[in-house]
Amino acid sequence: MEFSNRDKSQYVKDTFNAIARRYDLMNTLMSLGMDKLWRRKVVQIVQAKPGMRILDVCCGTGKLTTELGKSVVPSGQVIGIDFSKEMLEKAWKNLNNSFSKENIKLLQGDALSLPFENNSFDGATVGWGLRNLPELSKGIQEMVRVVKPGSLVVSLDMAKPTIPIFKQVYWFYFKKIIPFLGKIWAGKEKEYNYLFSSAYEFESQSELAKIFENCGLVKTGYINLAGGIVAIVYGQKPRI
Ligand SMILES: C[S@@+](CC[C@H](N)C(=O)[O-])C[C@H]1O[C@@H](n2cnc3c(N)ncnc32)[C@H](O)[C@@H]1O
């Protein structure tokens, strides 16, 4: 899909506002329930520990934010930031069921202009967020800016499977079946078509690791999940 930067931001915001109500259910159905395990892996890789202050960018309905919250209790803090009002409202509701809710703060804001000081977090995560940004490098640079030297920046996102046949089946499923399910279960075919095209047009996991490096991170790498349909890409802010 071709957009100007401003158009893309508005389109993405409208899309997530429209699908917020059914987002969690669709996420679980589309990932066959594996999304929870993938988020836990992110928590492990960012090395979230009690007392830490972690930022979760593009936090959406707060699922990853909540997983992070469980690891920083009793004295740490997780801040989730997202620009979609509807996704955040769902996150506030979801948070009510979490024992770590006192340690979690949710904010409405833009990933491309984070309202935080330099070197103020012990780690930053982004779950299925980077591919929605009109300026990918700027979003990563913002995360790099706000984490402390030695801390990790970790992204979980759709990736590019390479196994023959499996990858053809996967892209068919994503292009044809998911928008169909989106239409049946959530009444939102156009929005689920966007999810396909944003994943299809997004950088591969190895390209994204390279961009992490170009944005100033070291010890970059990636871990494929579910045969490379999804990948965790990570890097460390250099120690001074
Ligand atoms: C696919 S959802 C991911 C939600 C969540 N991280 C998860 O693990 O399920 C992507 C989220 O990114 C948010 N988003 C996209 N672009 C953004 C931006 N520029 N600033 C803040 N949030 C943004 C959307 O509003 C949406 O809630």
Residue 8 and residue 194: Cα distance in Å, rounded?
Answer: 11
Residue 178's pLDDT band, with cuts at 50, 70 and 90, is: confident
- pTM, entire model: 0.94
State pLDDT tens for residues 15-48. 999 989 888 988 888 788 899 999 999 999 999 9
| Residue to substitute in 58, 67, 107, 202 for testing ligand 1 pocket (most ligand atoms within 8 angstroms of CB) | 58
Give the residue-averaged pLDDT of 148-159: 97
CATH assignment of the domain containing 88: 3.40.50.150
Cis peptide bond N-terminal to 50, omega within 30: no
Q: Is residue 178 part of a domain?
A: no
Q: Is residue 177 part of a domain?
A: no
Residue identifier of the C-alpha nearest atom 7 of ligand 1? 127
Q: Is residue 168 part of a domain?
A: no
Q: For the chain, how many structural domains are there in total?
A: 1
**How many beta carbons lie within 10 A of that of residue 221, not counting itself?**
15
C-beta of residue 188 within 8 angstroms of C-beta of residue 16: no
Residue identifier of the C-alpha nearest atom 25 of ligand 1? 84
Q: Is residue 49 part of a domain?
A: yes
Q: Is residue 108 part of a domain?
A: yes
Q: Is residue 167 part of a domain?
A: no
Q: Is residue 114 part of a domain?
A: yes
CA-nearest of 21, 220, 171 to 179 is 171
Domain hosting residue 134, numbered range:
5-159+203-236
Q: Is residue 22 part of a domain?
A: yes
Residue 139 and residue 134: Cα distance in Å, rounded?
Answer: 9
Pocket of ligand 1 (CB under 6 A): 9, 12, 16, 27, 58-60, 63-64, 82-84, 87, 110-112, 127-129, 132-133
C-alpha of residue 131 to centroid of ligand 1, in Å:
9
